[in-house]
Every structure is written in C-alpha cells, then in structure tokens.
Amino acid sequence: MAPATDDRNGLVNRILPEMKLSDGSASSMTGPPAPFPHYLNPEGRATLRFAVEGNAVITGGGGTLALEAAKALLEHGAAGLALLDVNAVQASDAAADLRKEFPEAKIIAKAVDVTNAESVATAFGESAEELGGIDMLCCFAGVVGCTHAMDMSHEQWRKAMDVNCSGAFLCAQAAARSMKEHGRGGSIVLIASISAHRVNYPQPQVAYNVSKAGVVHLAHCLAAEWASYGIRVNSISPGYMDTILNEGAGLENARNAWAARNPMGRMGSPQELQGPIVLLCSGAGSYMNGADLVVDGGAIVF
C-alpha cells in the first residue's frame, strides 16, 4: 500500500509549471514595431512592410510548395536559407538551382528525418551555425495516404502522426531553441491543411486529417508558450493545390469533385501560397500569433 499512498501524495501535492506571457512593453520581445522612418516615400514603406529579414529553414524543402515558399522569402530579402529534406539529393539539387537565381543569398541543403529527434537536432544545429542563426521556420514536411479507416494498419496511422504532427513539433522545438539562444525572436509557420477543419470528400484519409488538426492546435499551444521569447507561431491550411501529388488519371474523379465543391471552381496554384508565407514571416504579420490562415478558394465555407 505504501507505493500507492506515495503516488497519491505526489499527485495531490504537485506544483504545475506555468507558462510566462509577455507584458508587451517596449523593452520586451513583443513590443510594438517601430514606426517607419520618416524619410521613406510610399514605395519605400510598401517595400519595408513586407520585407523578410534574416535566415529561413524550410523542411520538406525539395517539394513544390516548399520551393515556392523559398523563392518568395528570398525575393523579399531573406539573407540565408536552409532546405531540409529526407531526400538529400533532391534538396541539394533545389538549393543549387536557387543559388543561380539568388547569388547573394547563402543557400544550403541538409538531410533530415523529421521523425528522428537526433536527426532534427543535428540538421538545425548545423543550419544555425552555417547561416548565423535561424529567424524563420516553415514546416512543409508531410505525408498523405488514402485508406479506408477499417482497413488502415497501425503502421499507416502512426506514420502520418509521426511525420505530420510529431515531426512538426520536433522541428519547431529545435528552431525555437535556436531563436531563444540568439535572442532575436522569429517566426514559425506550420503547414496544416483544410483537412484539419473538414472531412475530405471523396477520398478517405482519417490519419492525415487528424494529424493536420493536431498541427493547427500545436501552433496555438506554441504561440502561447513562446511569445515571450519574441517567437510567433502560426499555421497555414492550404486547400487542394495543383501539384504532382494531385496529378494522374487515377485522380480525375477526385479532382473533379474538389473543383465542383469549390466556389472558385478550381484547385490552387502553388504560387498562391507565397503571399501568406511572406505575410507571416515579415513585419506585415508582426501582430499575428496563433493564427491559422485558410488558403482554399473558399472550399470549407460549405
């Protein structure tokens, strides 16, 4: 009986850790932004409003949507960029192409398994050292599978959760630790999905849907905990995007259904995620924290 009593005493006498919120003062990490310099003309103010400063890490960096985000951040002023992907060759090739287009930026590529804490720590540590710190993280790494729930194996369920949700947490944690160490705050953008908000039709994909719902709430939780360090955490929920993952004759019926149920009558173009990414990573989004931006042409209004 003694162990049970000790366990109960420990339970009822425990002290909960408490998150610390910022006071929002000018001296804090969440103070209001400085006004634009008086000498700027309207064009200068417009440019500065959406300027991206510092270094970005992008996971799933070899994918179509991730590369659109990379280009947008570099176009708006990012000084450094690390593409992280489980496919090291794909990431390296993509980085080489970006260097040709953006010769003034420092662009590197790293192999990473987002489900492995040691792999994540190594990749983020090396990226921070080579770039001179991490100021932005965009988590695009993810997997999707369409399987009827009754037929789904434990391994299929677990893989979706490990990559999409746990992977996002491990990468956000690694980035936040680096941001805290360098003391200049930062922006973390987690890529969720409209699948976090609605059940997909016609394809069954319960594991993906639930994992992405977790990503949205993960952003909420981290936004609350990390704001005092000057770290903003938000998510983007894209609708169906017209990428290679959604191509092929076998998907024709699904593509028709997706378009028919969308007020705009089409899928999204990958470049249509660039604006939201820049918004959340630039000064234009300085008061956005814990938000989820739905970019879906209106699909989930129904």
- Say whether 128 sits in a helix, a strand or coil: helix
Is residue 212 flagged as an active site residue?
yes
Going by C-alpha positions, the residue among 195, 191, 187, 247 that lies closest to residue 55 is: 187
Q: Residues 127, 212, 228, 240: which is the catalytic one?
A: 212
- 258 token code pair: 């997706």
Q: Residues 127, 178, 187, 193: which is the catalytic one?
A: 193
Helix boundaries (H) for 34-184: 42-49, 64-75, 88-101, 117-131, 154-160, 167-182
Specify which residues 136 forms β-bridges with: 56, 187
Task: State the DSSP H helix or E strand holding residue 278, giving kind and residue range, or none if neither.
Answer: helix 274-281
* Helix 64-75 / helix 274-281 crossing angle, nearest 10 deg: 50
Chain center to CA of 45:
27
Is residue 229 flagged as an active site residue?
no
Q: Is 22 exposed, middle or buried (0-12, 13-18, 19+ CB in 10 A)?
A: middle
95/44 Cα distance (integer angstroms): 30
Tokens 């919120």, located at residue: 21
Q: Residues 71, 110, 178, 208: which is the catalytic one?
A: 208
**Residue positions counted in the chain:** 302
Is residue 237 flagged as an active site residue?
no
Tokens 């003034």, located at residue: 104
Contact 235, 276 (CB under 8 A): no
Residues identified as active-site: 193, 208, 212
